[in-house]
Structure 1
């Protein structure tokens, strides 16, 4: 057995410690799992003047919009940066260019980064399917503003994927899934920091969200699923389609450290898991770079971040998605075969005192009783 085969066997045999006391399955792509793990072969396509121009125009508009909304002069601005996961964690993903009015923004966004075509993980224990199609997913939640732009491309053809739907969700600033109060267990009822956006004619979907907080058992991350063939309904949700990509995005450890110094992040007492100690991060970074590139919108972190990344997807993929709940017009409805339903009564031992399953079930029952009344 070659060294490459030994390493691949070890990777697939390792436990997927995605969430405390909840093992997430790791699905290797059945066909050619070692084929083109990164998008390096697309360099020529991505460097075509028209491709760069359209990408730059999109990100330039977003960055200027964010600055204007915060009353920050557009001519002000700092910092883009220049792969085995040990190499990735050494990269500073913050832009080091000065942004000025009328500048050639291609010098800022040319180093795009890419989320490789990797063995997919499942969606985690807190995914709610059926969230609304919307750009702003903050719901007034406090934290560092984060606008995230995700470009979806076909990893084989290097062409952008239009009319896909990107579904994202993350924890809030204090590490809880979309809710600020750790005693409020109705996590599957909330829509905060959850939402869906279609990719535009250049394959880009963008969200106004918040920088996520950390929680025990995982490195700081954002979940994302790319759906193909879905239909937007009149109630502003999507139905049908199939999941072509199930992945997670990460952040520089130095950025996480700085964010944790600010309120309300600094009230989070849960243990921090470094990127290099997170199994799923290592899986994603062994071959490419799943950490977002980013720039500060103003002169300080509190003014917010603009972050971008590129997903390489297999358009023929049809990955398994088993949500914790389904969002309906009456709120969240527990999936009887979902990951929360399968938890023992004590919930996640790594989150002391939560009693996750009992509390979620009670919250759902209360909401349903209110709706019925």
Structure 2
């Protein structure tokens, strides 16, 4: 036993005798409770626990200063993209395939409005309602759970519809024809692709979940997943949704350390396109200035990333919002059809949200380089 523990034991034993001379204490039987909080270390390191602790201590300090007549001007310090990028979002939760997903969100933080960011030029509207969106492709399995919260009331939003899409493990989107770097622009069969695209309803806990794959990277963007949340849409007999309002348009990201670990595995490691760090992605910076768009996650098998991950995130949405949506293509009963007024047009077009830039959505040098590589590969 260490000197520290010996002294602590001596003090505990002596305390009752000093306080109550002549009193004989009854020593409780049974297991002793832990006298330290080492077992709570994981909880104490969770970002939201730290955030709440800082807020509570800060409010107490402010109260004591006010009692002394010290008045300070309130300071608003929202999250910024650099601080968000430094948070370790890996969780020590035990996750299983059949678990109650609502338990993932027991410590997911406060209710804030999730910023709306660019829809992107590769959205296909009308995708099918389905949980498994992998289509048998290779990659690191990922179950993704998204909880939708009304940011005004902080109540969960059941019966919303979450639409997601992302690139596959080697950085390719299917479902849109003619976008530079996404296959042969003359190959119409890419319009029939639905891999990593799908729609799910939120349950009574406001949660929609997908069996997906960790997305691959591509030149010019950090690794990400696109999302749209529809309110008031209607399920159709052909297993799609129509109507409703797009209350949220977002993009979600991953810890850079997790991206590096995944990219070391096949088939991700066959992708030779440069990896863009989160902090160098302008849309990540937009989404992370005031919010945290990085997924929390846990390994399904703590000893093997290749066995897959659970990932989760909470969206605070304005349920009354109606965001404009201009898809690149539509999924119909006859397969995919390009949108004649969409952001991807043969021989040109404009990047949505950045009017005046010609070139089919590739106004920057990295886009032109990628388009040139794609043309050379044909």
- The normalised TM-score by structure 1 is 0.68
User: Mean alpha-carbon deviation: is it higher for 200-209 or for 280-289?
Assistant: 280-289
Query: Which residue does the alignment assign to 1:145?
Result: 141
Say whether residues 1:314 and 2:310 are aligned partners.
no
Work out the CA distance in 1 between the residues paired with 2:319 and 2:100: 33
Say whether residues 1:291 and 2:291 are aligned partners.
no
Change (3 A) 1:198 1:273: same
Work out the CA distance in 2 between the residues paired with 1:280 and 1:115: 22
Structure 1 unaligned segments of length 5 or more: list them. 1-38, 44-82, 360-373
CA deviation after TM superposition for structure 1 residue 287, in Å:
1.2
Structure 2 unaligned segments of length 5 or more: list them. 1-47, 53-78, 176-180, 351-357, 363-367
Query: Which residue does the alignment assign to 2:329?
Result: 325
CA deviation after TM superposition for structure 1 residue 334, in Å:
0.8
Residue 221 of structure 2: which of 209, 218, 223 is its match?
A: 218
CA RMSD after TM alignment: 3.0
Q: How many residues align?
A: 277
Work out the CA distance in 1 between the residues paired with 2:147 and 2:167: 22
Say whether residues 1:198 and 2:194 are aligned partners.
no
Work out the CA distance in 1 between the residues paired with 2:103 and 2:205: 19
CA deviation after TM superposition for structure 1 residue 242, in Å:
1.0
CA deviation after TM superposition for structure 1 residue 99, in Å:
6.2
Deviations 1:33-53 (A, max 9, x none): xxxxxx99xx9xxxxxxxxxx
Deviations 1:155-212 (A, max 9, x none): 0100101111000000000001148x96455543311100000001110000000000
Change (3 A) 1:354 1:114: farther
Work out the CA distance in 2 between the residues paired with 1:225 and 1:106: 21
Work out the CA distance in 1 between the residues paired with 2:256 and 2:262: 10
Say whether residues 1:92 and 2:111 are aligned partners.
no
Say whether residues 1:239 and 2:235 are aligned partners.
no
- The normalised TM-score by structure 2 is 0.67
CA deviation after TM superposition for structure 1 residue 114, in Å:
7.2
Deviations 1:35-75 (A, max 9, x none): xxxx99xx9xxxxxxxxxxxxxxxxxxxxxxxxxxxxxxxx
Pair member with larger Rg = 2
Say whether residues 1:163 and 2:159 are aligned partners.
yes
SS across alignment from 2:149 = strand
Change (3 A) 1:266 1:197: same
